[in-house]
Amino acid sequence: MTEYKIALLGFGGVNRALTQLIADKNEHWANEFGFKLKIVGVSDLYFGSIINKNGLDAHELAAVPAVKGGFRTLPAGSAEPANETVIRFSGADLIAEATFTNPVDGEPATTFCRWALEKGISVVTTNKGPVALHAESLKALARSTGAQFEFEGSVMSGTPVIRLAKESLAGSEISGFKGILNGTSNFVLSSMEEGLDFSDAVAKAQELGYAEADPTADVEGHDVRLKVVILANELLGAKLTPSDVLCKGISGITSKDIAEATKANARWKLIGSAEKMSNGSITASVSPQLLPQGDALAGVSGATNAITFNTNVLGPVTVVGAGAGRFETAFALLSDIVSIHKNKTKIGK
């Protein structure tokens, strides 16, 4: 049985949920997968930091009250964040990086990933910034030090869309995709179909925790644009940056538009897509699209995500699953850790 020492960067919903899963499921993972996780360090801008190379109590960590400097209440805890110290000196084998997404340059998360990978520490992340902007250099760095860089949760939360496409659809010749890749915008559109106007639908999404206080990244398509870049680069061999993806959000859709779509037996969806052209180039976009009810994506409502892969061998293949939620996203981190463990077991390291 293998024990991995893991350090957590960020202690918001996702890594706190991962901590709870470790507290509840470690023995089950030992039986099912052959490994356990021991948390040896945590750093967070709000909670502070804590390190214990012998292992922290996951139950105790998961129960830390949501107050500024909360780690100060634990033995050896500090109210100050210490990202570099936790990465370099906690003794971690794995880093779970779940800090905020910076769509401009991917910092400081990209630097956190580099610090870890330089030391041969594998990284699992849900952060779109480092993946959309720096995946190639981070993967190359990981290869050079014998570490692994995994990011399944960066696109569809707990739904394993990247690994599914690379492994289960290997040989299917994926030529493109279109998807509902943002649960917030899909929830807003679904709520508008139920009679709310745009602003009230956004307020409802905020009330339920689907939307941030500033929902711009979700409703204007910026979040989807990063995910399209990640998928196009990973699955289609593109070398896109966010500026290469035309982007339009849903803020211009009115209740009248929704009503007219319903009469036409169609539904508005915010779609992120990419397609490989005959000359090998990749075109990609994010935009509201009017889908007929017969489209596999048209029936996807609420905060659910879905993606249709266009393949030359199988035709269209649609995957529907959770696109939001802290435990769902924490599961993506777990799936990456399982993948890392399998790879290490395979090569005997």
pLDDT tens string, the chain, 349 residues long: the values are 899 999 999 999 999 999 999 999 999 999 999 999 999 999 999 999 999 999 999 999 999 999 999 999 999 999 999 999 999 999 999 999 999 999 999 999 999 999 999 999 999 999 999 999 999 999 999 999 999 999 999 999 888 899 999 999 999 999 999 999 999 999 999 999 999 999 999 999 999 888 888 999 999 999 999 999 999 999 999 999 999 999 999 999 999 999 999 999 999 999 999 999 999 999 999 999 999 999 999 999 998 999 999 999 999 999 999 877 889 999 999 999 999 999 988 866 5
Instruction: Give me the residue label for tokens 């040896």.
Output: 40
CA distances to 4, 33, 42 from 81, rounded to whole Å, are 23, 32, 9
Q: Taking a C-beta distance cutoff of 8 angstroms, is the pair 305, 142 a contact?
A: no
> Residue 157 — left, alpha, or beta (φ > 0 → left; ψ -120 to 50 → alpha)?
left
Measured distance CA(170)–CA(310) in Å, rounded: 13
Q: Which three-class secondary structure state does DSSP give residue 77?
A: coil
- Helices 222-235 and 128-145: angle between axes, nearest 10 degrees: 30
In terms of Cα–Cα distance, which of 142, 106, 105, 144 is closest to 124?
Answer: 142
pTM across the whole model: 0.95
pLDDT at 176: 98
pLDDT at 210: 83
pLDDT at 4: 98
pLDDT at 325: 80
Kindly list the structural domains of the chain, giving each domain's residue range(s) and its CATH number in brackets, ordered by start: 2-158+327-348 (3.40.50.720), 162-322 (3.30.360.10)
End-to-end CA distance of the chain: 13
For residue 78 the two structure tokens come to 């500090």
Q: Taking a C-beta distance cutoff of 8 angstroms, is the pair 202, 212 a contact?
A: no
pLDDT at 253: 97
pLDDT at 349: 53
Q: How far is CA 215 from the centre of its chain?
A: 17
Q: Taking a C-beta distance cutoff of 8 angstroms, is the pair 189, 221 a contact?
A: no
Residues across the chain: 349
Measured distance CA(116)–CA(95) in Å, rounded: 7
pLDDT at 302: 92
pLDDT at 127: 96
Task: Output 312-320 pairs: Cβ under 8 A, ≥24 positions apart.
Answer: 312/172, 312/173, 312/175, 313/171, 313/172, 313/173, 314/169, 314/172, 317/169, 317/172, 319/156, 319/159, 319/161, 319/164, 320/159
Q: Which residues contact 284 (CB under 8 A, 6 or more apart)?
A: 228, 229, 232, 238, 240, 244, 245, 246, 272, 273, 274, 275
- CA-CA-CA-CA torsion for 204, 326, 105, 114, nearest 10 degrees? 170
Measured distance CA(61)–CA(70) in Å, rounded: 10
For residue 335 the two structure tokens come to 């799936």
Please, what's the b/e burial string for 183-216 (b: 16 or more CB within 10 A of its CB; e: otherwise)?
A: bbbbbbbbbbbeebebeebbbbbeeeebbeeebe
Known catalytic residues are: 227
Q: Taking a C-beta distance cutoff of 8 angstroms, is the pair 174, 236 a contact?
A: yes
Measured distance CA(10)–CA(6) in Å, rounded: 13
Measured distance CA(210)–CA(256) in Å, rounded: 24
* Sheet with strand 35-44: strands edge to edge: 48-51, 35-44, 2-9, 94-97, 122-125, 149-150
